[in-house]
Amino acid sequence: MSTITVLGLVLLVLMVLVGGKAGAQSFLALILNFGLLYLAIVLVAFHFSPLIVTLVVGMLVLALTIFMSSGDDLSSTVAFIASAVVLVVLVLLIVPVENWALVQGFGPEDSEDLEGLSVLVGIKFVQVTTATAILSTLGAIAEAAMAISAGLSEILEQHPQVSTKALLGDGIAVGKQIIGTTFNTLFFGFFGGFLALFIWFTGVHYSFGEILNDKIFVSEILMILFAMVSVILTVPITTWVMTRAVAGQRKRADKQGDN
Amino acid sequence: MQVLKTKRGLLWAWLIAMVVGGILVWGTAHDAALYRDPIMQVTSVKTGKATKETDDFHNVDSQTKQVLSGKILNGKYQGHQLTVSNVYSYSRAMDQKYHVGSQLFVVVHDRNGQQLTATAKDSKRDTTLVFMVWLVVALLLLIMQFSGFMAFLSVAANGVLFFLAIVLNGSTQGAQVLWIFGSLAVVFAALTLWLVIGANRQMVITLATTLGGTAFSIIVALLVFHVTHERGMYYESMQYVTQLPRPLFLAETLLGSLGAVMDESTDIISSLFALKRERPELSANQVFKSGRQIGSTIMGPLINVLFFIFVADTFPMAMLYLKNGNSWGYTFSMNMSMGVVQSLISGIGIVLAVPLASFLASRFMDKKKVTA
């Protein structure tokens, strides 16, 4: 058996042992997410617009990740709507910045890997790089939205009459608790992946100025910064969606009370 | 630091950050003097006709030549007018299209006495980079206030440590990469948790869980590698490798999963401490059960976070492989297999940390009362 199969089986067994049915569901979500990511790559290779593919696949990934984890209906729905809003806002930020930064495609450091490959493939790499940046933050958006909405729904459970204004403050308070550790997840996740590149920079003695303007370096750092922006934005947006949902629920409850 | 907790102090900090950041962004657009390589600002562009190109795999693209005229902004050729020719393609994977106002690095060829000629090297990107950092800091301070500042501080501190470790790794020719980054992981975790939680019993338990979970995942991975003889792992597909790939891969995985395991154990253990404060009568077993409950809801999304970070990055290269007539399977092996292995190992660490956090928290959180 290949290493991936065995590691996958070990992970599945552990997830079921620790989380039971929820664990198995999360594992399934992970596999489906991989399928969606690969599908996105194939669709772009077939000349579908990278941005539209990313938006559609992004929505599906968010829905899968959020609805296949355990959580009550209200917090899952709120988390999904909020993360979808964040995704759209993020696209509006990433598209102009990627066009401005000119970090599309590959850099001189990739030359060895590109040997024997034709790069004139007739697909706009600005859009491909934009798609990459958006896809790499999807997990972080879903996780942050779920954490905030779960925290808020717990507060609502304990204090059902809390005012929507107080709820806004609570959302930010929950956000403050998670932001420090979430940033570290992102920092280590990304830097773990870039370790080889940074070692390259010091090994080949790039100057500070060269690193700051290097295509690959800037593109990777921008990805971390986009992910951080998306997590920061997730906090107020999720809180806001939650207050709207609660306000809507209370209105309906009042109407029913009147009848 | 305390001043940042008041409303006025915060407002001032935010204003200062905005202004300083704004100056920095403006400054990087006018910082050519700081660079040794000559930088040219484009003042006019003449665009030629596009020529169609078709490669061996029937990919249709086009190439266009543009002649850029501009002025050198720095160095000994400052003020010289130059024209540079540049070719860009429709897909622009390895080339650039420049506009009026673009700043780019050029190589100037000075053949004594004759007119200066130059070739385009690469675009200048520091302004975009500084702008985005500025945006993140401004949003953090605005929305997260003091906690945002602390989060930023811990990321900055870790960044400095990371840089030092890379320099150290370079000075040992990469022979000790796993040891360097393994011990760095301990320092990283201790520093971050101290900044986020403070120095107390909760922090010690969280640190023990983080290190234990990460270490277990690496041990499991090495066992699996041993059993399967690393079949289906393509170390040659790793990018930018300048030293022995296997220890480098393990170091990358170790660092990558560290943050997520830390995130998770902080969540579980702080919830359990809060729970115990509210209901001190809970037995150790009940606390353990709640910990498992909390952990099993957050582990799935966390594994997803790392999966997308590790694997989405391979998108452009994987797509290029597909466009160059490679099969889906080969494209996966050569681009995504290592990222998937990394995600799986991190996932194992994330899952193992759940029982570990619950166990350690349930057994050790009220030792203080016994000793007091």
The Cβ of residue B325 has, within 10 Å, a number of other Cβ atoms equal to: 14
Residue B189 and residue B45 share a domain: no
**B166 belongs to a structural domain:** no
Q: List Cβ neighbours of A155 (8 Å cut-off, separation of 6 or more).
A: A162, A167, A170, A174
Q: Looking at the structure, do residues B323 and B176 belong to the same domain, yes or no?
A: yes
Calculate mean pLDDT across residues B75-95: 92
Compute the nearest-CA separation of A133 from chain B (Å): 8
Picking from A6, A61, A113, A183 by the largest number of B CB atoms within 10 A of its own CB, the best residue to mutate is A183
Mutate to test the interface with A, among B125, B126, B172, B268 (most CBs of A within 10 A): B125
The answer to whether the CB atoms of B259 and A146 lie below 8 A apart is no
Least confident residue range of A25-34, A248-257, B27-36, B297-306: A248-257
User: Domain ends where: B66, B89, B124?
Assistant: B124
Question: Is residue B58, in this structure, part of any structural domain at all?
Answer: yes
Question: What letter does residue B176 receive in the DSSP assignment?
Answer: T
If pLDDT is split at 50, 70 and 90, which confidence band does B8 have?
Answer: confident
Q: Which residues in A lie closer than 8 A to residue B231 (C-beta atoms)?
A: 1-3
List all residues of chain B from 129 to 188 with a beta carbon under 8 Å from chain A.
Answer: 129, 131-133, 135-136, 139-140, 143-148, 150-152, 154-155, 158-159, 162-163, 166-167, 169-170, 174, 181, 188
CA dihedral over A16, A17, A18, A19, signed as positive or negative = positive
**Distance linking the first and last C-alpha atoms of chain B:** 32
- Going by pLDDT thresholds of 50, 70 and 90, the confidence category of residue B372 is very low
Using 50 as the pLDDT threshold, list the residues of chain A that sit under it: none
Chain B residue with CA closest to A208: the answer is B35
Residue span of the structural domain in which B268 resides = 172-371
Please give the Cα distance from B191 to B246 (Å, whole number).
28
Q: What is the mean pLDDT of residues B116-128?
A: 91
Q: What's the pLDDT at B231? A: 92
* Chain A contact for B33 (CB, 8 A cutoff): no
Residue B134 lies in a domain: no
pLDDT at residue A105, as a whole number? 92
For residues B216 and B350, state if they share a domain.
yes
Please say if the pLDDT value at position B369 is more than 70: no
Q: Write down the pLDDT at residue B4.
A: 64
Residues B199, B323 within the same domain? yes
ipTM of the complex: 0.94
Same domain assignment for residues B321 and B216: yes
The domains found in chain A, sorted by start residue, are 19-112+121-258 (1.20.1640)
Instruction: State both tokens at A220.
Output: 């990777």
Give the residue on B whose Cα is nearest the Cα of A47.
Answer: B323
Q: Which of B121, B128, B171, B236 to mutate to test the interface with A (most CBs of A within 10 A)?
A: B128
pLDDT digit string, tens, across residues B217-227: 999 999 999 99
Which element (helix H / strand E) includes B60?
Answer: strand B60-72
Per the DSSP assignment, residues forming a β-bridge with B86 are: B66
Q: Examine the pLDDT at B104 and tell me if it is beyond 70.
A: yes
pLDDT band at B76 (very low <50, low <70, confident <90, very high): confident
The answer on pLDDT for B146 being more than 90 is no
Q: What integer is the mean pLDDT of B278-299?
A: 91
Domain assignment of residue B290, yes or no: yes
The predicted pLDDT at position A123 comes to 95
A169: distance to nearest CA of chain B, Å?
Answer: 11
**Overall average pLDDT of the B333-347 stretch:** 96
Residue B287 lies inside a defined structural domain of this protein: yes
Burial class of B226 by CB neighbour count within 10 A (0 to 12, 13 to 18, 19+): exposed
Q: Are residues B92 and B186 in the same domain?
A: no
Residue B370 has pLDDT above 50, yes or no: no
pLDDT score of B371: 40
Contacts of B91 in chain A (CB under 8 A): 105, 119-125
In terms of CA atoms, which chain B residue is nearest residue A12?
B348
Q: Which residue has the tokens 């080889």?
A: A196
Label residue B170 by pLDDT band (50, 70, 90): confident
Q: Is B356 found in the same domain as B251?
A: yes
Phi, psi of B68 (to 5 degrees): -100, 130
- The answer to whether residues B114 and B218 belong to one domain is no
Q: Which of B124, B156, B184 is the last residue of a domain?
A: B124
Here the tokens at position B129 are 């980079």
Q: Which residue has the higher pLDDT, A224 or B114?
A: A224
Pairs of residues, one from chain A and one from chain B, whose beta carbons lie less than 8 Å apart: 413
Q: Are B77 and B38 a contacting pair, CB within 8 Å?
A: yes
Show residues of chain A in contact with B139, CB under 8 Å. 229, 232-233
Phi, psi of A162 (to 5 degrees): -60, 140
Secondary structure of chain A in HEC code, one letter for each residue: CCHHHHHHHHHHHHHHHHHHHHHHHHHHHHHHHHHHHHHHHHHHHCCCCHHHHHHHHHHHHHHHHHHCCCCCHHHHHHHHHHHHHHHHHHHHHHHHHHHHHCCCCCCHHHHHHHCCCCCCCCCCHHHHHHHHHHHHHHHHHHHHHHHHHHHHHHHHHHCCCCCHHHHHHHHHHHHHHHHHHHHHHHHHHHHHHHHHHHHHHHHCCCCHHHHHHCHHHHHHHHHHHHHHHHHHHHHHHHHHHHHHHHHHHHHHHHHHHHC
The answer to whether the Cβ–Cβ distance between A69 and B297 falls below 8 Å is yes
Interatomic CA distance for residues B129 and B93, integer angstroms: 20
Chain B, nearest residue to A71 by Cα: B297
Model confidence at B366: pLDDT above 80: no
| Same domain, yes or no: B118 and B267 | no
Position B368 confidence tier, pLDDT thresholds 50, 70, 90 = low
- Residue where a domain stops, chosen among B92, B108, B124: B124
Task: Summarize pLDDT for A240-250 with one digit per residue, the tens.
Answer: 999 999 999 88
Window A:155-214, CB contacts with B under 8 Å = 172, 175-193, 195-200, 202-204, 207, 209, 212-214
Query: Is residue B31 included in any domain, yes or no?
Result: no
- Rounded Cα–Cα distance for residues B157 and B89 (Å): 41
Q: How many domains does chain B have?
A: 2
Q: Give A116→chain B minimum CA distance, Å.
A: 9
Domain match, B187 and B120 both? no
Q: Is A221 on the interface with B (CB under 8 A)?
A: yes
For the cut 50, the answer to whether the pLDDT of residue B1 exceeds it is yes
Would an 8 Å CB–CB cutoff place A83 in contact with chain B? Answer: no
- Note whether residue B325 is domain-resident: yes
**Element spanning B107, H or E:** strand B103-109
B210 and B281 housed in the same domain: yes
* 8 A C-beta contact, residue A90 and residue A144: no
Cβ atoms within 10 Å of B47's Cβ, excluding its own = 12
User: DSSP label at B90?
Assistant: S
Whether B264 is covered by a domain: the verdict is: yes
- For B127-139, what is the mean pLDDT? 93
Answer yes or no: do B363 and B233 share one domain.
yes
Gap between the Cα atoms of B315 and A132, Å rounded: 6
Residues B131-153 have a mean pLDDT of: 88
Residues B342-365, buried b or exposed e (16+ Cβ, 10 A)?
bbbbbbbbbbbbbbbbbbbbbeeb
The average confidence (pLDDT) of chain B is 90
Query: What dihedral angle (degrees, nearest 10) is formed by the CA atoms of B173, B176, B182, B183?
Result: -90
